[in-house]
Chains A and B, each alone.
Chain A
């Protein structure tokens, strides 16, 4: 069976800068939840940016296969329409652009690519209601411009809401827990857990142990100095809870 995501010896750097990823290899199957942990500067953001196709990064060696195909020729928006979703660590504001309007444009862009019929306003609203109730969210964030005036927690919940609407195959959650208090974290984690499905892989990138208490991963990897220095299953996750991962960093 083809793996959903295969990262093979990936080396990458910021364009014109020094190398940050120094040979990452990782395989993710649909239905799995992976956590990638590591200190700041380890390369976590670089990894999520390179996977999402953010401009300004160069892959210097290795490759990334998505559904068996090399994604390097695909631009960021093409990757998105193929089902790759990135929940941003710092979701940006887009003034004057209504959140609902934005989401509908995004949803229909993906549907067009897949040869599906676009949703009209009524059908779209129906889907919205469905997802809002699934995630136990209120509809007030729909009326506002994208992320404008949203609190940290609201921004993260908006990311998860968008994930629910766009139904990606591969969801990369970039430090989704950063800046959240316990209640907000719990709410976001609940949402993510509800979106787990056999057809979907979730890769959580995080700094903090506690996220793993709320979203139980199938696999955990420790990223330090641009490499994955340790990997394991659920047991490893529980072990890390006790020991932390600082000792693994030093080994890198």
Chain B
């Protein structure tokens, strides 16, 4: 153990030069020892062969994290997290997955079937080495060629650090500063990998940036770091996550996503999340504590967040927009489901700085079982945001007698010419609606699914089409057993 640490220290102590030229000695330890110290951070950075500037960036975040406390203001019951008991780096386990679909848990395959996941992707999601199943190389190559032809950069965060360090350095941490919150500081210190995209001026990205990414989902880590930049007049639609149920031995997932839209640019960021939610007694399950923020830097820029959150034991996230540019637009569309013993405290912050900026918030919360669902939103109109407008609609649907739905909206206006509208409803699936569906021959499950999808329609229609269909199925599957 100590021999390996010496090696790390040798390399990191050598200064910038030895990093630039890469390692001579290979570190063959695959997993960091449990615990989180400066050495862990150095270990991670060394394993990834990162340049010195990034190691220093991580260390700064780590030192900041050490001075912070886990926040407890949310409407969430969080069992204490043992930060020192977890492992912060583990190499991807390629050799240990199933060799073919025959070795995969049939229940899992049944779920993929129910969700309508394309056959070609089921193997990858189940952890079967992708090259064993189909010619992934050619798929990836075609995709990359199309993008490269337009000057679009789309790669892993790690690759971006190596190939486009100037872009990364310019924007990393500019939307979510390291010290923004406890979890962003943690992520900044130990982030594993994630996505990076840069769309050049005037370019409309010709495809959903998701297909390729999904194939590699099986290997994504617990502290993802994503950075997307749309230069002036550019457009990109990005989809994160997938409907397939996902498990991980690591309980805490604290990702950070930063989006930057320059003048006239538009970023559409969609998330479908179905991490393991814990069993029906509320044991186990992923904690999904994410910091996502978009900066509409330029005039008439636009960032739109769409999320369908059905998994995780606890979901804690507020994808937000900082509307700096004049005439900039921020949107947030959300469906969050809490069933069994799941909890969610989610919503958004729309910070209006630019004059004539506009924001729209449509939040649909569905609670079933013993789920507790809280919408927390903040609309801030700063003094310079003359004629700013916000429209918020926050609807809750309660299924059964033991669940809860809560709404905590904050509105803070410091400009008297702004207009802010807030509407909220709380309802249950009416017996009349259910009986109407039953009387037409639909089963109780089909009926609930239909009514719930109708309730979520305004949000689901914002999703890229291929995912809208899967999301509908996901909603049905998530609410199985919730009625009756």
Contact = CB atoms under 8 A, between A and B. Distances in A.
Interface of A: 52-56, 75-77, 80-81, 85-86, 88, 91-97, 102-103, 105-107, 109-110, 113, 145-146, 162, 166
Contacts of A92: 430, 432-433, 436
A80 B450 CA distance: 17
Interface stretch (B127-135, B167-175, B398-406, B437-445): B437-445
Interface in B390-443: 430-433, 435-443
A109 B446 contact: yes
B360 interface: no
Given A55-B435, A76-B435, A95 B441 contact: no
Contacts of A53: 438
B433 A105 contact: no
Contacts of A113: 441
A97 B454 contact: yes
A105 B439 contact: no
B111 interface: no
Contacts of B439: 52, 54, 76-77, 80, 85-86, 88
B62 to A, nearest CB: 47
A55 to B, nearest CB: 7
B456 interface: yes
Contacts of A55: 431, 435
Contacts of A80: 438-441
A76 B436 contact: no
Contacts of B458: 96
A145 B455 CA distance: 11
Given A80-B440, A80-B441, 16 more contacts: A55-B435, A76-B438, A77-B439, A77-B442, A77-B444, A80-B438, A91-B436, A92-B432, A94-B436, A94-B454, A95-B455, A97-B453, A97-B457, A109-B446, A113-B441, A166-B440
Nearest to A87: B439
Contact of B454 (A85, A145, A162): A145
Contacts of B436: 88, 91-92, 94, 146
Interface of B: 430-433, 435-444, 446-447, 450-451, 453-458
Give the secondary structure class of B's interface.
helix
Contact of B442 (A56, A95, A106): A106
Contacts of B438: 53, 75-77, 80
A209 B473 CA distance: 48
A52 B434 CA distance: 13
A77 B438 CA distance: 4
Given A88-B436, A96-B458, A105-B446, A110 B441 contact: yes
Contacts of A105: 442, 446, 450
A94 B436 CA distance: 9
Nearest to B455: A96
Contacts of B432: 92
A146 B440 CA distance: 12
Given A55-B431, A92-B430, A92-B432, A102 B456 contact: no
Nearest to A147: B436
A2 B231 CA distance: 76
A109 B442 contact: yes
The 6 closest A-B pairs by CB, nearest first: A96-B454, A96-B457, A97-B454, A106-B440, A80-B441, A109-B441
Contacts of A106: 437, 440-442
A104 to B, nearest CB: 11
Given A55-B435, A92-B433, A77 B454 contact: no
Nearest to B434: A55
Nearest to B440: A106
A95 B454 contact: yes
A81 B458 CA distance: 31
A178 B454 CA distance: 28
